[in-house]
Amino acid sequence: MTNTRAESRLFETARLGTLDLPNRLVMAPMTRNRASADGVPLPMMVTHYAQRASAGLIIAEAATPNRVGQTYPNITAIHSRDQVAGWRRVTEAVHAAGGRMFLQLQHGGRVGHPDTSGLTPVAPSPVALPETVFTPTGHQPAVVPRELTVEEIRSTVADFAAAARNAVEAGFAGVEVHAGNGHLLHQFLAQNTNRRTDAYGGPVEHRIRFAVEVVRAVAEAIGPERVGVRIAPGARFNGIEESDTEQLYPPLVTALAELAPAYLHLVFADPEQPLFRRIRELWPTALVANPALGWGDPLPADGGRLKGEQLLAAGADLIALGRPFLANPDLVERLRTGAPVNQVQDGALMYVGGEAGYNDYPVLVAVPAAQALGST
C-alpha cells in the first residue's frame, strides 16, 4: 500500500522569518505553572520541551516582561538574569534535539493579584476582572486594577522590548507578543475593559495603539523577522467582551502588517468565517492558525490533522496545536503515520506542578505501516 498519509501539506517544509522549518506543525504556547515562584524555568521544563522538538516550531509558554504583569503562581518570566539563564537551559536542550523555539511574551494586566506578584495589577482602566483569580493560597476575588498612566504605558512598552532582547539572549529564535485571551494588550483592544478617553481609548484607532506600539518596539529591539503576534478575535477569555470584533481587527491587522513581523497567530481560526478570510487577505507574511478543538472535549481521533489541513487549504501557512502536543510528545510522527493519539490526562493536573500529566505521556515504540495506515 502506498503511504498517502505523509503527503499532507502539514509535513512540508516552510520558511518563517530566518528559520527553515521541517514541517508546518507548531506547538502552541501553553502555560502549565511549572516554573519556580520567581519565574525561573525548572528542570522538568527542559525535559518537556526537548521531548517535543520534532514540532516545526515550539512557541514556549507565556513569560511575563515585568513583575506586575504576572498572572498566576509559578508561571515563567523573562526580566531577570536567573530567568534568562533558566530559559537558556531549555533552548539549549531543544536545539540539541533539533528543534526551534520562540517565546511568548504576555502581560496579564488586570489578570493578576497582589498575593501573587506583590503588586496591584494594572490595566487600561480600573475595571476588575469579573472572576476569581488563582493565587498561592487558592482562588480569591479579583482586585480593581490601577489605571496605567501614559508614562507607565511607555514604560511597559519598553519592558516588552527588554524582554524580547532577553529572550534572544536566552537562545530563542524570536518572540510572540500575546495580544489575545483577555490579557493586557487585549484589554486595551476591548471596549468593556478600555474606558479611557485619551489617545489609548475610545475609537478603534486609539484602542489598537498600545498593541501596535508594543510590537513596533519589540521589532525594533530584535528585528521584525524574529517577531510574531497572537490575536484572539471574539474570544471571551478573562471577562473580555468585544462589541465590534469585525470593525476592530482589520485596522489592527493592517497596522501590524506595516511592521512586517514574521507571523500572525490566529486563535480559534475557522476557515468558514469571513473574518478569517479578511485577515488572510490583509496579512502579508506567515499566518499561523490555531483551530478550535473544543476545550475540555476529548481530542479528535486524528489529533487535529483534518482541521489543520482545512486551514492550510484556506490560506494558513502553519498550524498551531496545543493539547495534542501536550499529550503527544511525538505528535508529528503520530499525525504523519495515522497512529492513535494520547488523550490529555486529568485536567486537574494541568496547572498543579510536577511531572504527572506533563512529562509522563507515552511515545510510540514502533507502529508497523499496515497497522498505522490500515491495509487493503
Mean pLDDT of 24-49: 97
**At residue 203, does pLDDT exceed 50?**
yes
Domain range for 229:
5-373
Q: Could you tell me how many residues make up the chain?
A: 376
List, for residues 131-156, the tens digit of each pLDDT value: 999 999 999 999 999 999 999 999 99
At 375 the pLDDT is 32
Which three cell numbers mark 201? 481609548
**At residue 347, does pLDDT exceed 80?**
no
Task: Write b or e for each residue in 261-271: b if 16 or more Cβ atoms lie within 10 A of its Cβ, otherwise e.
Answer: bbbbbbbbbbb
| pLDDT confidence tier of residue 6, bands split at 50, 70 and 90 | low
Task: Write b or e for each residue in 38-53: b if 16 or more Cβ atoms lie within 10 A of its Cβ, otherwise e.
Answer: ebbbbeebbebbbbbb
**Taking Cα atoms as reference points, which of 216, 230, 83, 227 lies closest to residue 157?**
216
Which three cell numbers mark 321? 496545536
The number of angstroms, rounded, from the C-alpha of 340 to the middle of its chain's C-alpha atoms is: 26
How many domains, in total, are found in the chain? 1
At 5 the pLDDT is 53
| pLDDT confidence tier of residue 296, bands split at 50, 70 and 90 | confident
**How many angstroms separate the CA atoms of 157 and 269, rounded?**
28
List, for residues 215-259, the tens digit of each pLDDT value: 999 999 999 999 999 999 999 999 999 999 999 999 999 999 999
Give burial (CB, 10 Å; 0-12/13-18/19+) of 189.
buried
At 334 the pLDDT is 97
What CATH number does the domain containing 66 carry? Answer: 3.20.20.70
Q: Are 240 and 186 in contact (CB under 8 A)?
A: yes
**At residue 262, does pLDDT exceed 90?**
yes
Task: Write b or e for each residue in 287-310: b if 16 or more Cβ atoms lie within 10 A of its Cβ, otherwise e.
Answer: bbbbbebeeeeebeebbbbebbbb
**At residue 376, does pLDDT exceed 80?**
no
Give burial (CB, 10 Å; 0-12/13-18/19+) of 115.
middle
Backbone angles phi, psi at 86, to 5 degrees: -65, -45
**At residue 97, does pLDDT exceed 60?**
yes
What's the pTM? Answer: 0.94
Residues 6+ positions from 366 with CB-CB distance below 8 Å: none
Q: Are 285 and 260 in contact (CB under 8 A)?
A: yes
**How many angstroms separate the CA atoms of 170 and 163, rounded?**
10
DSSP summary character for residue 298:
P
Other C-beta atoms lying within 10 Å of the C-beta of residue 236: 12
